[in-house]
Amino acid sequence: MDGGKKTRTDLKIQIPDAEEDARITAAAEADPDARPMTDEEWRAAPRVSREEVANLIGRPPLPEAAKKQRVTMYLDRDVLARLKAGGKGWQTRANARLREVLGL
């Protein structure tokens, strides 16, 4: 993607080189609340695919009844300007206001 929003398929796994791994391990060993896994623990750890990891990232999917429906509608410019004046999340606020006005 070209500077746009990242998606699950854009997930990149970076493996540290030996020097960086040594720095990470030393920092973890110095932290009383963190303990690096032993080689035995790593061998016993369950293996997951890249796709499985990607599916763990982000929000879980909503049930069908809770999903919103995409619509296209035309609004007066001043109405849209007022909605957008509150910044990000204007669609969510518009939905909440419509629910309120419609008694839902």
pLDDT confidence of residue 1: 43
pLDDT for res 62: 85
What's the pLDDT at 102? 94
Q: According to the model, what pLDDT value does residue 49 have?
A: 86
C-alpha pair distances (Å), 47 with each of 8, 39, 61, 67, 84: 19, 14, 23, 32, 45
Q: Is residue 22 part of a domain?
A: yes
Task: Look at residue 56 in the predicted model and tell me its pLDDT.
Answer: 77
**Domain range enclosing 76:** 68-104
The pLDDT, as a whole number, for residue 35 is 77
Co-location of 54 and 79 in the same domain: no
Q: What is the pLDDT of residue 99?
A: 94
Residues 27 and 45 in one domain: yes
Structurally, the chain folds into a number of domains equal to 2
Do 36 and 72 have their domain in common? Answer: no
Which residues, at least 6 apart from 8, have a Cβ–Cβ distance to it below 8 Å?
54, 55, 57, 58
Does residue 3 sit within a domain?
Answer: no
Same-domain pairing of 16 and 48: yes
Q: In this structure, is residue 63 part of a structural domain?
A: no
Residues of the chain with pLDDT under 70: 1-11
